[in-house]
Structure 1
Amino acid sequence: MQILQKSYIPKATQIIQVIEFLTEYLPKFSDKRIYQYFLILEFLKLFVKLRKWHYIDQYGLMISDYNKFGQADHQEDQAINLFQQKWGGLQKDLPIVDFKSAQEQLHKQKQFLPEFNQGQYDIIGDKQIPIIKTLPIPNNLKKREYESQINLLRIQIGEILFLLRPIIYCSFILKFGTQSYSPYLISLSLDILRFLIQFKIQIFRKSQKEELQLRVKDTIICYLLRNPFYTQILKQKCLNKILGLFIKEENLLYQLIIGLLDLRSSKCFLL
């Protein structure tokens, strides 16, 4: 059952996103009716994301489906398990090395020092790198820091804000309307609060770093293209004037650029 839910979670999210797109563009609903449907669909999406957070991400930092390092997590875990099966019986506690004195010796000597190596180091370029760092084993210290209670608490609070923000945004759109800046600023405040909470979290996977970078990029794009900022400021006062300096409004290229930006600024893409 758990495996089935894991495989259907991404599909369920994609289906909900398609329904949101069709809700905005196929029927001729008013903005209020569109956001009423969006609110219902976002609750469904919240349920799906909570299942993903529980089964796949285990209440840690959620990794999105389009994260290019997401698959690397699985491959890394497989490599770790294989290494532990074959070499798990090896001595784990390495002899203590005085790294400070070793570095001083390296600065004095240009030649490789066999007595320093002791079978624990390898030459990569012109540096001696601990062999343990070249093995497919995650940094245990970073993993322990990641799994500390305070670190997980920061992650989880940030993820809860990340999950609830679209629902809160839709709710305030229904209350204040699409031309009000109140939903925009409330949503922005929630994202800023999330960034502040998760700013100093410890991570140990490349996919986690990639996820945080993707969220920053998506957030910036969303607030540039989200109404009313997009139509009232970015489009009217910036894009039209700048494009008008190079291309006439009647030009097909001008209309294509504005049309693509208008499509990207669709309500369903910026929840």
Structure 2
Amino acid sequence: MQFLQKSHIPKAIQIIQVIEFLTEYFGKLPQKRIYQNFLILEILKLFLKWRKWHLIDKYGLMISDNNKFKEADHREDSAVNLFQEKWGGLQKDPLIVDIKLAKEQLKKIKEPMLEFNFGQYDIIGDKQVSIIKTLPIPNSLKKRDYDSQLNILRVQIGEILYLLRPLIYCSCILKFGTRSYSPYLISLSIDILRFLIQFKIQIFRKSQKEELSLRAKDALICYVLRDPFYSQILKQKCLNKILGLFVKEENILHRLVIGLLDLRSSKCLLL
């Protein structure tokens, strides 16, 4: 599959998303037929995302294109590589200190002893704190924790659930129908399970933290606007009544607000 290079994958996914939108709004098809088409398109999208996961993300946490820290991480890597090229040969022999003995002696004293510091401790408030604890954790150490076998397993299980959930959701809609809460609750259960698994992963980069935050926000919006919750509860029992306190249903502002929310609650945007 050499024809599908790294740069082609985001474009191909965007094209599939456009086709899904056109299928929903211009196909004039029944609901079941729309979701049958969605299922086929989501299978193609799964293939593309799986290839991106392999080629770009190296089976780690997948970083989306709209992640604002993606470029910042790239610049940080470039700065680290440049520093290693120019100054990587410098070495410094650290002072050998018995940390265990130092901690035992610190426990025996009540007042901080500056002469006991030896460059290993600092005074913060009224306590002597290890200088190591006051320093930022180097990325090399964080990467070591991120690359641990258990952490990678958590990441990969979460990403597999993230990739498969849209297909499972479409399949459940075809089985139970659009008015049933079963697809909604099954999809919600998969996302909750993914959140619980990935909640404990060790974060290596800022973009990874941002990615998990973006996914949480996106999931919240989706489950608020996804049918049948949106049409049966939010729209009928909440929005119409609240807007009705200010403007009538025939008012253009009322129809504009509901129309924009209906557009955002499009099926293709909430898969």
TM-score (norm 2): 0.85
| Structure 1 residues 228 and 96, CA gap change in structure 2 (3 angstroms) | farther
Deviations 1:66-114 (A, max 9, x none): 001111121111111111101111226644676977xx9xx888xxx9x
CA RMSD of aligned residues (A): 3.0
Are the equivalent residues in 2 in contact too, given 1:20–1:268 (CA < 8 A)? yes
Deviation at 1:239, TM superposition (A): 0.7
Partner residue, 1:149? 149
Are the equivalent residues in 2 in contact too, given 1:222–1:270 (CA < 8 A)? yes
- Name structure 2 gaps, 5 residues minimum: 123-130
In the TM superposition, 1:43-62 aligns within 5 A as 43-62=43-62
- Whole-angstrom CA distance in 1 between matches of 2:40 and 2:93: 55
Which residue identity is paired with 1:19? I
Deviation at 1:251, TM superposition (A): 1.7
Which residue identity is paired with 2:223? Y
Are the equivalent residues in 2 in contact too, given 1:162–1:191 (CA < 8 A)? yes
- Whole-angstrom CA distance in 2 between matches of 1:2 and 1:86: 36
Partner residue, 2:211? 211
- Whole-angstrom CA distance in 1 between matches of 2:250 and 2:96: 74
| Structure 1 residues 212 and 88, CA gap change in structure 2 (3 angstroms) | same
Three-state SS of the structure 2 residue aligned to 1:5 is coil
- Whole-angstrom CA distance in 2 between matches of 1:210 and 1:84: 27
Which residue identity is paired with 1:72? A
Identical counterparts, % of pairs: 75
- Whole-angstrom CA distance in 2 between matches of 1:149 and 1:29: 47
- Whole-angstrom CA distance in 1 between matches of 2:119 and 2:3: 46
| Structure 1 residues 116 and 184, CA gap change in structure 2 (3 angstroms) | same
1:234 matched to 2:234? yes
Partner residue, 2:184? 184
| Structure 1 residues 51 and 195, CA gap change in structure 2 (3 angstroms) | same
| Structure 1 residues 30 and 94, CA gap change in structure 2 (3 angstroms) | farther
Are the equivalent residues in 2 in contact too, given 1:2–1:55 (CA < 8 A)? no
Deviation at 1:211, TM superposition (A): 0.3
Are the equivalent residues in 2 in contact too, given 1:68–1:207 (CA < 8 A)? yes
| Structure 1 residues 240 and 59, CA gap change in structure 2 (3 angstroms) | same
Partner residue, 2:163? 163
Three-state SS of the structure 2 residue aligned to 1:187 is helix
| Structure 1 residues 253 and 237, CA gap change in structure 2 (3 angstroms) | same
**Would you say how many aligned residue pairs link Structure 1 and Structure 2?**
256
- Whole-angstrom CA distance in 2 between matches of 1:149 and 1:59: 13
Deviation at 1:233, TM superposition (A): 0.4
Partner residue, 2:127? none
- Whole-angstrom CA distance in 2 between matches of 1:197 and 1:73: 24
- Whole-angstrom CA distance in 2 between matches of 1:92 and 1:267: 60
Deviations 1:8-63 (A, max 9, x none): 11101100100000000111000101000000000000000011100110000000
Partner residue, 2:256? 256
| Structure 1 residues 92 and 234, CA gap change in structure 2 (3 angstroms) | farther
Partner residue, 1:30? 30
Which residue identity is paired with 1:197? I
Are the equivalent residues in 2 in contact too, given 1:155–1:198 (CA < 8 A)? yes
Partner residue, 1:125? none
